[in-house]
A and B are shown apart, each in its own frame.
Chain A
């Protein structure tokens, strides 16, 4: 309460009594002395009701003086003939005192209630915001903001990290977290004792900030350093609010920390599983062909006389096939590395899609022998801006995928069509398709469809589709598995016609 307000209150008390005196003087011919006393009593009660004890006492003393001077015979002196009036004076003083006592208590209770309401409101507002933030860092930011607002200054939260554990509780927080020695001492005390310290507390009162511990369910989680703007001590009730907020934040931090730790552990388990899958997949895929090559070559070298010419030929064929398989696998691995490290350089040129498809079909000629291939590229298909080597690789991977997952003699259909500034390409087979729910997972690294037998001799590396997605994404398109009307698998990808197409190639008449 400021000084001006106090002066106002006393002024009000004096004014009320002055006014009452005036009214009583004006009405004196018609009033009994006892009526006048009642009038003054009313004025005193009014002041005591509206204000605190000081103005009430002033009002009652003034009333007594005015009543004695103007209305108790002999008039206009402070002498009193009838001692009964002393009782009146005493009653007036008593009423003023007990009234102000009563109203003071009521006011305190009201202030208390409103204070409690403020605390509850602040806590509710904090808890609501904290509930909306899952990440610890966000929660710390929210709590800092709320504490700063409640402090009327700045708030800084220091959490003891698990990695700080080696430093021990005695030396936390570290020295370099603070500018002032006093605040640092207060901080350590608050953290170790679990009680507020610093500005406005008996402990380290010389510090320019209040340090409040963040008391979680399993012990102190850290501290909040609260720095009021004017560096004036924070009143006790305000401090209790800050402590309540700090404790509430601490519990919430604990929950967030726990959740994050859990998540971290899950990520570690998953990446561990991925690493294991990668290693077992790689060692299997690399060792199998190498084993065949080594076996066949050593037979040819060490015992050529016992082998029939047909067996020798078969062994040579094995060596050739297995080397080719390894070449493909290594090419896939290198492509994967390029996709993953962002080293995929895309050199786009406008060209007919037919050419890249033609190269892919020729490269897979032998392996496609068992599958009728139907290519439906409309003659009016526009030129597309693509890197031919990369798109050729996409076709090869999708076709290899189809060859691998469909029985011999089932057809493979490749079609393409233009649709508002995009060319859509589809490679569809008529095999068993992809089980529902695996439409996305098959694009993951080292993910084979659950229908693929791991030991299938023609089994893929589990990289083909991942590489396709990397290449198509680098072209600004997307690739997905389309439901092929429930029959087989249909992979679709888009190639956006971005940039300005080249000048039209002039047509010319056929020579005569």
Chain B
């Protein structure tokens, strides 16, 4: 991590959880500010202007979704929400309200670090990849400038919609994208509820770009929430 260490605001009411996350983040050279309640968290968010906010959705004093909305009123920094399994609709609501990603409790260190890394990268590079970079992950290579997709070294032939969907995912690589967000981006606002379109095209993409489409390694499903293309390398456009 070049430059000054990123500042992370952790809004979490459980002390044990705060202890584990704070220790882990500090060990990875991040600066950490802790808040034990929504009220305190909102004050710190406004006063310290952190680079990333980790927000537990189950705070005792205020609804996590409200806190998300409140922060988004004035600030654009990435918000990663933390919630328990079985609260998929809350996660989707938080993401649609402007949260960037989520972590499901219990989570491991590698997952936590990956989320923060991706969030920082997206917030620093604006929209992630430019319009002409090259994205590489596993045996997938997407050349955005040439609109060329290589799978395992050979060119994959995609339909226009498949390509559009792929580009949306590449721009958000490493980050979860909800069904609704993808449907809006690829098909338009009128298709926000037609989730089977998305699922069918996703299956088609996997059949063209995954080694084993029943055990996807690149295009991951976030059940009940959306999809996540794995983190990859972004190279400058070849000259």
Interface residues of A (CB under 8 A from B): 320, 323, 327, 331, 334, 349-352, 354-359, 361-362, 365, 373, 375, 377, 383, 388-389, 392, 502, 505, 508-511
Given contacts A323-B106, A508-B160, A511-B158, contact A362 B220 (CB under 8 A): yes
B86 touching A377, Cβ below 8 Å: no
Interface string of B198-234 (1 = CB under 8 A from A): 0111110010000001111000110110000000000
**At the interface, yes or no: B195 with Cβ under 8 Å from chain A?**
yes
A505 touching B200, Cβ below 8 Å: yes
| Distance in angstroms between the alpha carbons of A357 and B214 in the assembled complex | 7
Least CB distance, B220 to chain A, in whole angstroms: 7
Interface residues of B (CB under 8 A from A): 85-86, 88, 106, 108, 157-161, 163, 194-197, 199-203, 206, 213-216, 220-221, 223-224
B214 touching A511, Cβ below 8 Å: no
Known: A331-B85, A511-B163. 15 other contacts (CB 8 A): A323-B106, A334-B86, A349-B195, A349-B199, A352-B199, A354-B213, A354-B214, A358-B213, A358-B214, A359-B223, A362-B216, A383-B199, A389-B223, A389-B224, A511-B157
A-B CB contact pairs (8 Å), 18 listed: A320-B108, A327-B106, A351-B199, A354-B203, A355-B199, A355-B203, A355-B221, A356-B223, A358-B215, A358-B221, A361-B215, A365-B215, A383-B196, A383-B200, A388-B221, A388-B224, A505-B196, A511-B158
A352 touching B203, Cβ below 8 Å: yes
B106 touching A359, Cβ below 8 Å: no
A508 touching B223, Cβ below 8 Å: no
Within 8 Å by CB of A375, from B159, B206, B214, lies B214
Q: Report chain B residues within 8 Å CB of A502.
A: 194, 196
Least CB distance, B90 to chain A, in whole angstroms: 13
Least CB distance, A126 to chain B, in whole angstroms: 58
Least CB distance, A80 to chain B, in whole angstroms: 120
Q: Report chain A residues within 8 Å CB of B213.
A: 354, 358
Q: Report chain B residues within 8 Å CB of A357.
A: 214
Within 8 Å by CB of A505, from B86, B201, B221, B224, lies B201
B160 touching A392, Cβ below 8 Å: no
Least CB distance, B229 to chain A, in whole angstroms: 14
| Distance in angstroms between the alpha carbons of A365 and B161 in the assembled complex | 31
Given contacts A361-B215, A502-B196, contact A392 B223 (CB under 8 A): yes
| Distance in angstroms between the alpha carbons of A76 and B189 in the assembled complex | 128
| CB closest chain-A residue, reference B208 | A510
| CB closest chain-B residue, reference A387 | B224
| CB closest chain-A residue, reference B212 | A375
B88 touching A389, Cβ below 8 Å: yes
Within 8 Å by CB of B157, from A331, A356, A510, lies A510
A350 touching B196, Cβ below 8 Å: yes
| Distance in angstroms between the alpha carbons of A239 and B57 in the assembled complex | 78
Q: Report chain B residues within 8 Å CB of A351.
A: 195-196, 199
Q: Report chain B residues within 8 Å CB of A362.
A: 215-216, 220-221
Q: Report chain A residues within 8 Å CB of B85.
A: 331
Within 8 Å by CB of B158, from A327, A356, A361, A510, lies A510
| CB closest chain-B residue, reference A414 | B214
| Distance in angstroms between the alpha carbons of A12 and B197 in the assembled complex | 100
Q: Report chain B residues within 8 Å CB of A373.
A: 215
Q: Report chain B residues within 8 Å CB of A383.
A: 196, 199-200
| Distance in angstroms between the alpha carbons of A352 and B216 in the assembled complex | 14
Q: Report chain B residues within 8 Å CB of A350.
A: 196
Q: Report chain A residues within 8 Å CB of B215.
A: 358, 361-362, 365, 373, 375
A349 touching B196, Cβ below 8 Å: yes
Q: Report chain B residues within 8 Å CB of A505.
A: 196-197, 200-201
Q: Report chain B residues within 8 Å CB of A511.
A: 157-160, 163
A352 touching B221, Cβ below 8 Å: no
Q: Report chain A residues within 8 Å CB of B195.
A: 349, 351
| Distance in angstroms between the alpha carbons of A350 and B203 in the assembled complex | 13
| Distance in angstroms between the alpha carbons of A440 and B72 in the assembled complex | 54
| Distance in angstroms between the alpha carbons of A377 and B158 in the assembled complex | 22
| Distance in angstroms between the alpha carbons of A510 and B196 in the assembled complex | 20
By Cβ-Cβ distance, the 8 closest A-B pairs, closest first, are A375-B214, A510-B157, A505-B200, A508-B159, A351-B199, A350-B196, A502-B196, A352-B203
| CB closest chain-A residue, reference B197 | A505
Q: Report chain A residues within 8 Å CB of B221.
A: 355, 358-359, 362, 388
Within 8 Å by CB of A358, from B159, B200, B216, lies B216
Interface hub of A334, A350, A357, A511 (most chain B Cβ within 10 A)? A511
| Distance in angstroms between the alpha carbons of A167 and B163 in the assembled complex | 83
| CB closest chain-A residue, reference B202 | A355
